[in-house]
Structure 1
């Protein structure tokens, strides 16, 4: 599997897992979804908002790639989140609808990435104002790894609330070799 195929697989996995996590979270009463569970971002909704914030920040940075990915145009025009713990949505349904839209953008963007695009050094500034000059492929891998990391926290919070998300392993989506 080449790098671009792996990126597409990760985009598919991201969308698949977000559907599962939100479906599980929507079974809980709002009080449980917003309760501070002492996770990195407090609650289930806080964690899911953080993922949306971070994905938006990274996709806005990726929109600056010389390939000028048209799929990222709508994200580039969104307001830039001001903090990693910003609550973009207080209601889970609104958050889920935006998440679904963003996941569609991510899948479309992943389809547009070419192998030569991956060798580019992306120049960006972190939320703390620190400039970065990093390999584009490695940043994409960070993007997907970050999602997996915090979705793992969300699934733990859901499990603690008595909700089983089901299978979460990437291997469920990796095609069998022929």
Structure 2
């Protein structure tokens, strides 16, 4: 199970990197929503990692300097993999969402959500890229594995 989860984080890291790259190559064409969504995608993974580790997290919709995107993505990946390798994935963690509501989920559920959440927003970003005349990236997991 841990190997499969790490594989999914490798997939997430790879396509987040590709999204950052295509956005940076087309900064003059992309809109604010695209910038907001790539930031949100990276912020959310950092937030879920931080909830598991009990650390300070980013804000959900904070805008980071574009030059730091690759570094944030890399750190998110490394932290997520470290969590997978060092944790009992069935362990339940109490946390608060951005509105202060308390929840409890397993580490596996939290990590899988972070992966799924990234996939969802990369799809939105691809739609925005296309609307702005930029060829979207094929980000389906099966294409990654081929």
TM-score of the alignment, normalized to the shorter chain, above 0.5: yes
Equivalent residues of 1:159, 1:165 under 8 A apart = yes
Query: For 1:137, what is the secondary structure of its paired residue?
Result: helix
Q: CA deviation at 1:59?
A: 0.7
Query: For 2:25, what is the secondary structure of its paired residue?
Result: coil
Q: Distance in 1 between matches of 2:83 and 2:130?
A: 32
Q: Distance in 2 between matches of 1:165 and 1:103?
A: 23
**Of the candidates 36, 44, 64, which is equivalent to residue 88 of structure 1?**
64
Unaligned runs of 5+ in 1: 37-42, 65-75
Work out whether 1:122 is the aligned partner of 2:93.
yes
Equivalent residues of 2:36, 2:63 under 8 A apart = yes
Q: CA deviation at 1:52?
A: 2.2
In the alignment, which residue of structure 2 is the partner of 1:70? none
In the alignment, which residue of structure 1 is the partner of 2:75? 101
Q: CA deviation at 1:85?
A: 1.7
Equivalent residues of 1:22, 1:96 under 8 A apart = yes
**TM-score, normalising length from structure 1?**
0.71
In the alignment, which residue of structure 2 is the partner of 1:48? 38
In the alignment, which residue of structure 1 is the partner of 2:143? 172
Equivalent residues of 1:47, 1:150 under 8 A apart = yes
**TM-score, normalising length from structure 2?**
0.85
Q: Distance in 2 between matches of 1:97 and 1:118?
A: 26
Q: Distance in 2 between matches of 1:25 and 1:86?
A: 17
Judging changes above 3 Å, is the alpha-carbon distance between structure 1 residues 113 and 164 closer, same or farther for their aligned structure 2 residues?
farther
Counting matched residue pairs gives 146
Unaligned runs of 5+ in 2: none
Q: Distance in 1 between matches of 2:58 and 2:111?
A: 19
In the alignment, which residue of structure 2 is the partner of 1:23? 21
Work out whether 1:57 is the aligned partner of 2:47.
yes
Q: Which runs of 4+ in 1 moved over 4 A?
A: none
Q: CA deviation at 1:108?
A: 4.1
